[in-house]
Amino acid sequence: KSQLWTPDVLLYNSADPQFDSSFQSNVLVYPDGMVNWIPPGIFRISCRIAVAWFPFDIQECFLKFGSWTFDGSKLHLDVDDNGFDLSSYIQNGEWELTATSVVQNIQHYQCCPEPYYDVVFTFIIRRRVLYYAFNLILPCILITMLTLIGFTLPPDAGEKMSLQITIMLSICIFQNYVAEMSPPTSEALPFLGSAFHSVTAILSKIVPTFVPTEGAAPRVFHKLRDCMTFRSVMLNWLPWLLMMHRPGYIAKGTKLVKEDSDEDEGGKHNVSVESIISTAITHVPPKLAVVDEVEQQPAEERRHLWRKGSRFLPERSIVPINEVTKEQVAQLVVLNEIHEHLSAITAEIREKERNKDVEDDWKFAAIVVDRLCLYIFSFFILLSTCALFSAVPRLEVLPSNS
């Protein structure tokens, strides 16, 4: 070989530390003067990686071979008509070879007027998505669907916030996986990373919606409940728009009305303390201690007690003040005390019922907000998913000898 001239064909974009990684094999010389020299080698090249569509990315790399010292007048590089020889090509589990091409170029450099020939072998590979679909994309979609479950939980359930925070932490873990799998570059954000960031952005909007739902106390809702606009929107119009049914209520147009009207309830409650006392007046014997206490009161004080308690008496039983006995006054004193106690009990019951109504309205309003957010975020999740996956590039397979 030392007595034969061999061309100094090198790989221009080599990334090997030795630059020329070919094995210096023997040269075959035939009797007719034909010389055949095929040096094998393992080539390592530098290739610009496009990670914008990871893991749906398509990479285009090339191998540029040319003489380092001889110009075109001394060394002419030609292209074989068969192009790439893929007869010994072994399929790769991560990449799919989609297109190849071989092109002869003529370069003119500033140093020399002579042309220089080089041959560029270009190959296009596409990443196989199956591995990433089952290990990254499908879990991401399932986790995204889990975010919507938070809207179906009861408004007073404390698990809503913890569920969304857990999902957000899971997304962060998957983002770390994507960062480890993709090459470090600041030119573009990987597609899968964009998808995870979209889910994170949606979660950042979802979580604050649970804060007023879980943190709103009924006492705060008291003020909002008296606002007619709030009641009209949250308790009537939105439920009608979202086709929601509230137990114990019937829909009349865009309004929800209780099945038992307020008038009926008011009639039940207004079997008032006075009517109860007037019914029981003949059955309540005066206490002796009260009779003695009334007997010690002056006449003017007895008349005052009579006027105060006579409102409980039916009209037919009212007698003139000058004919009132001390037993009758004592009886009215007892009834007046009963009236005060019953009034306090009735007021407490009504306050509890009002608080219960406020709490029910608050819970229903929270359910309405959850249902509205469920529809809104479902739409945005579906829209963002379709927009991301519809933008994935497609590549037509080029012929191998193009």
pLDDT band at 139 (very low <50, low <70, confident <90, very high): confident
pLDDT band at 215 (very low <50, low <70, confident <90, very high): very low
Given pLDDT bands bounded at 50, 70 and 90, which one contains residue 388?
confident
Confidence of residue 145 (pLDDT cuts 50, 70, 90): confident
Residue 62 has a pLDDT of 92
Q: Is the pLDDT of residue 350 over 70?
A: yes
How big is the chain by its Cα radius of gyration, in Å?
45
**Arithmetic mean of pLDDT over the chain:** 72
Rounded to the nearest 5 degrees, what angle is found at the Cα of 317, between the Cα atoms of 314 and 322? Answer: 125
Whether the pLDDT of residue 67 is over 70: the answer is yes
- pLDDT value for 282: 47
Percent helix, strand, coil in the chain, to 5, is: 50, 15, 35
Spatial contact of 87 and 71, defined as CB atoms under 8 Å apart: no
- Compute the average pLDDT of residues 305-319: 48
Both tokens of 292, joined, read: 């003695």
Nearest to 161 by CA among 169, 384, 239: 169
Q: Distance (Å, rounded) from C-alpha 104 to C-alpha 159?
A: 66
Provide the pLDDT for residue 227: 65
8 A C-beta contact, residue 65 and residue 11 = yes
Render pLDDT for 352-365 as a digit per residue (tens, 0 to 9): 887 787 777 777 88
Higher pLDDT, 290 or 66: 66
| Residue 182: both structure tokens together | 């993709």
Res. 46: pLDDT tops 60: yes
On whether the CB atoms of residues 170 and 200 are closer than 8 A, the answer is no
Question: How many whole angstroms separate alpha carbon 108 and alpha carbon 121?
Answer: 20
Q: What is the pLDDT of residue 110?
A: 81
- pLDDT above 50 (res 328): yes
Q: What is the pLDDT of residues 218-246, one digit of tens each?
A: 555 556 556 667 777 777 777 777 777 77
Q: Which of 269, 266, 243, 152 is nearest to 206 (CA)?
A: 152
What domains are there in the chain, each with its CATH number?
Answer: 9-128 (2.70.170.10), 129-215 (no CATH)
Please tell me the predicted confidence (pLDDT) of residue 61: 92
Percent of the chain whose predicted confidence (pLDDT) is above 70: 67
d(C-alpha 314, C-alpha 36), whole Å: 132
pLDDT, greater one: 163 or 98:
98
Smallest Cα–Cα separation from 218: which of 345, 370, 366? 366
Which residue in 397, 55, 372, 361 sits closest to 243, CA to CA?
372
Sign of the dihedral defined by the CA atoms of residues 48, 50, 55, 58, in that order:
negative
At how many degrees (to 10) do helices 326-390 and 218-225 cross?
A: 90
Residue 113 has pLDDT above 70, yes or no: yes
Q: DSSP character for 52?
A: T
At 74 the pLDDT is 86
pLDDT of amino acid 301: 55
* Residues 253-274, mean pLDDT to the nearest whole number: 55
- Is the model's pLDDT at 213 over the cut of 80? no
Question: What is the pLDDT averaged over residues 269-285?
Answer: 50
* pLDDT band for position 305 (cuts 50, 70, 90): low
Look at the pTM and tell me if it is higher than 0.75: no
121, 62 in Cβ contact below 8 A? yes
